[in-house]
Amino acid sequence: MARRRRRRRGRSKWRYWWAPLAAISGLYLFAALVGSLVPVNRGWSEPGEGITVYLADNGIHADLIMPARAAGIDWTPIVPKSDFAAPPPDARWIAFGAGEERVYLETPRWRDIKPKTVWSGLTGGNSVIHVEWVADPKYALREIRLRPEEYRRLWAAVRSEFELDAMGRPTRIDHPGYGPADAFYRGRGKASAIRTCNSWVAGRLRLAGVETSAWPPFAQGLLWRYRKRAEPAQRT
């Protein structure tokens, strides 16, 4: 009888926690839907000519791909190829993404994820910027054409997310990266279930003046607004 009572108590504890967890999850998903549908900068229109940037994703995480040089500004002194093991010699594009430190640095593959990593990603940890030199953005499925002044604002918005060292340069993290062409840098602020990698990209586009979703924590809530990439990949 005692064992049965203990089992019943254990089940009742789970029932006690299940209801609020389900409610919180439901509210989060509802807020994500609304935030993905509600636009900001709704008066923006894509120009007929300009500088093209790309959005790539793996179904969960979105990256922003920008030309290394465009509109009179240059990423090369900020994230030089010397910071990377072996970037493609012909790489003229750079992919930027932001995320939580443990999720990025301790999870090179999804099967490597651990409960403490998930918890850190949900509740908030240090922000990290993932940077990769790209030879051709043909793997990106979406593209956005920007006016030069919009591109400069986007560049400044991404640049401001790096934590700088005493020399005023982005602080590179001593980590091998996922491959020879990528590296990690210290970011500003925290990353969490509220400030996700996808809402980070949306925030940079918002600061550039581009129409985007108000709060898209998931990649799908961000990408649906933009054109599918033209074939072949456009060059700037």
Across the chain, mean pLDDT equals 89
Query: What are the tokens at 22?
Result: 């389900």
More confident residue, 71 or 13: 71
pLDDT of residue 130: 98
Amino acid 146 reads L
**Mean pLDDT within 63-84:** 97
Angle at 216 between CA 210 and CA 220, to 5 degrees: 95
The model's pLDDT over 83-116, given as tens digits with 9 standing for 90+, comes to 999 999 999 999 999 999 988 888 766 666 776 7
Q: Which of 166, 235, 224, 215 lies closest to 33 in space, CA to CA?
A: 215
| Domain chopping of the chain, boundaries | 11-228
Q: Which of 59, 198, 64 lies closest to 143 in space, CA to CA?
A: 64
Q: What's the pLDDT band for 8 if we cut at 50, 70, 90?
A: low
Alpha-carbon span 127 to 142, nearest angstrom: 25
Terminal Cα-to-Cα distance of the chain (whole angstroms): 75
Query: What are the tokens at 98?
Result: 């932001």
Q: Which of 109, 120, 102, 111 lies closest to 193 in space, CA to CA?
A: 120
Q: What's the pLDDT band for 41 if we cut at 50, 70, 90?
A: very high
Say yes or no to pLDDT of 236 above 60.
no
User: Distance of alpha carbon 4 from its chain centroid, rounded?
Assistant: 49
Which H, E and C letters describe 26-38, residue by residue? HHHHHHHHHHHHC
Specify burial of residue 207 (Cβ count, 10 A radius: 0-12, 13-18, 19+): middle
pLDDT of residue 9: 53
Say yes or no to pLDDT of 6 above 60.
no
